[in-house]
Amino acid sequence: MRFLRALIQRPKNIGAVFPSGPALTRAIASQFDPEIPGPILELGPGTGVVTAALIERGFAPERLTVIEFDPEFAAGIRRRFHGVHVIEGDAFDLARTLGAEGPRFAGIISGLPLLNFPLSKRNLLIEGAMARLQPGGPLVQFSYGLEPPVRACSRFKVARAATVWANLPPARIWLYSPAR
């Protein structure tokens, strides 16, 4: 019900008609290796379906930090996942939300509906998130578009890691990494 209410009240912030399905959440979680040490950052966890998939994959809740803009979704994550560090804030402004000298992450997943935002804001998100990654850490973004929400440029490259047909609607998982 929380998801449906948020979709009706703030459709731009939700970006989907249904929460991500199990096939998509498993495919996203598979992009991260629980054996690699370090915290994982999730941007826009919503109802927590990807958070749950990361925990099922073997990540301890204490390794997970989530940034959620919606106070109701943030409260739901706190109730559902004890040990997960929940921050109510703006994922588009990581310097303010995490602090200018905040932590580096072993991996970052973005469930934000980037295609609902201007390209300049999408670029800021990708660049800000990449600056928070430990060397070699993945930045994973999923979307429902046929093309990546932010195209490769001189600073980073992007590759499609998976297409998940068994999701409503079908989704693509994009992997961003520094251009070298």
The first and second tokens of residue 144, run together, are 């429902």
**What residue ranges define each of the domains in the chain, with the CATH number in brackets?**
2-178 (3.40.50.150)
Other C-beta atoms closer than 10 Å to the C-beta of 147 total 12
Identify the pLDDT of residue 102.
83
Q: For 14-23, 97-106, 147-156, which range has the lowest pLDDT when averaged over its residues?
A: 14-23
Identify the pLDDT of residue 17.
52
Q: In what order do the strands lie in the sheet with 85-88?
A: 85-88, 64-68, 40-43, 107-110, 139-143, 171-178, 156-164
Identify the pLDDT of residue 20.
84
For residue range 6-47, list pLDDT tens digits in order: 444 555 444 555 678 999 999 999 999 999 999 999 999 999
The first and second tokens of residue 33, run together, are 């290796």
Is this structure's pTM higher than 0.85? yes
Identify the pLDDT of residue 7.
44
Q: Is the pLDDT of residue 122 over 60?
A: yes
Segment 61-87 mean pLDDT: 97
Helix or strand run (H / E) with residue 67 = strand 64-68
Residue 3 banded pLDDT, cuts 50, 70, 90: very low
Q: Is the pLDDT of residue 93 over 60?
A: yes
